[in-house]
Structure 1
């Protein structure tokens, strides 16, 4: 039993060390969610950090001219009803992105009926990604002043099978347009605002392996910048801590079962007869 107690104490000490290391690593690791308030490298023109990080006030009209923005920023643009508006943002592995859009419509007196708006999200291969939930398409009555849309994507995977359409790390294009309206209302001025929120899904969605290069194609406006904390390495996740803790608990359970079996197998002592 002395040996059992010694092994048990050693394993418990190892589990405590793993827990402390995991907490320290998590505390030292910067959050995966990007924000507009983090530091940025000044451009060659000597512009300030505030200028570099300001949210865009225009949108592209195609995939090639999509305007980059970061999660946490609110990108705005003025346009004409019927235009296709494009933005692009980076999303990393084990992250789930929610894209929201608000369209400020022309005054009802200038419109001739209801109109329907839609938001679509495409990955770096320009594959349209389905929304896990959200209101992707919404109709606005003639009297409505705004219309709000949202799309929450599936969790981005570090890698995928060749036949799968899983979302992968890299660029994600946001396209906003009207899909139904009276012909007389085409060309009326509108104001659009889009923003994205990114949440970490954790090790439950981790997979072994990663893309050698994120899907970040070059555009006319330049290559999309990587997330502020860099692209993930693809091998580390919090599931390693749970795996180690599970191994320690399994070892302790084995030792406890061994001690019970060994104790029950000893012959009982028969008291000497008088």
Structure 2
């Protein structure tokens, strides 16, 4: 597999850019700690203009997924829980399970699976060991904690058929693979899919051949793993903290990568930028949250 040189897109430099997705012919992403949901206009090829602000919440915004049948609506991992975001920015909270956490906790990355459920992780602000969780939102809106004991959950990402979940425990530098029961979303016993030799695996996305892309926080690279977990490509970036990845573009073969400036004492000119790089294998379409009772 080959890849071109990454190009910085748009003029924004994000504090903590993550949760990037290709939705309706455009990228959508979050700047977590500012609570902003951002996008580029469909077909936008600018390299010097800003991203558009779709909405801004008064709480951190980890990630979103589109809601099927409701154009402009999102399900979001935000603040201490999960909410539905209307096109006008109004939030309807499904649950705030981390309100009662003993240490200040926020939601982090999340994604929809091919069966219409939404999954999102939580972490403490100080990344306390084992204090994070993974939540599943079923199509009826029920929010269930399905995993705990994670420090910084990232990804998550699903195989194209939805029968495997990839979840990074970033602080422990591991990517685990969980079997998924399609009918219920129950998780089976995990196995270690990959353990990068340095840095922390962060956001992830799959391609149509079963490969997995992941941003490696702290190392300024993106890794590609084959379906068997073999590392077969390393793409260098001119940013120290790559954070989120997705496959998109007209043919699904553009890899978009977010990055972050947070915590850097002397950020470089491209730290916090969004990058685009052409790759050989496309990604599957972005999954939507599909509520049982549509609009």
- Normalising by structure 2, what TM-score? 0.21
Higher relative contact order (CA 8 A, sep 6+): 1
The structure that has the greater radius of gyration is: 1
- Normalising by structure 1, what TM-score? 0.23
* Structure with greater strand percent: 2
* Structure with greater helix percent: 1
